Amino acid sequence: MILLALDASTTAVGWSLFGGADYVDSGVYRPKGDDWVSRVCDIERWLYDVDVEADYDTIGYEIATGNRGNMATHRKLGAVEFVVRQYCKFTDIDLHTVTASQVKATGCHKNAPWAATTIKRSQQPDGYLDEKHPGDEADAIGVALAVIRKAREAEYG
């Protein structure tokens, strides 16, 4: 299994790549566009570009658990999730979802005390080095670890 794990919003997509249970790479993609709809479209384009480079067969995705009372945030995160789900459907890539609590249980998330200084900020394919969003990268690694844990629990009971 080649796993691309995502912690996605309309402003930043934390991503991590794992071969089986082995860490390969991670980073943050900043979608381009003046409004959230344009950025969601850019995330879809980015998914196709990354697929060619990384050749993954599985996506791990953290489902938004909601921001109480903020319908605008729900709508935007729902649009991002829809794009990821449609991408997986049309490319025949397995989609495994996890919750925020499953990500936090891995110990690798943006609120971990070490995240801001320890996570490698890798060079993005377009040459953009993101120093502002290490928490999104940490969350994406946590998403991968949660997907791997969930798969192992399903396999071994």
Output the domain CATH number for residue 144. Answer: 3.30.420.10
- Of residues 28 and 109, the one with the higher pLDDT is 28
Domain that holds residue 78: 2-156
Quick one: the chain helix, strand, coil %, rounded to 5? 45, 20, 30
- Of residues 128 and 136, the one with the higher pLDDT is 136
State pLDDT tens for residues 40-84.
Answer: 999 999 999 887 677 889 999 999 876 667 788 889 999 999 999
Number of domains into which the chain is organized: 1
Residue 67: its pLDDT value, please?
63
What token pair was written down for 143? 């998403």
pTM: predicted TM-score of the whole model, two decimal places: 0.83
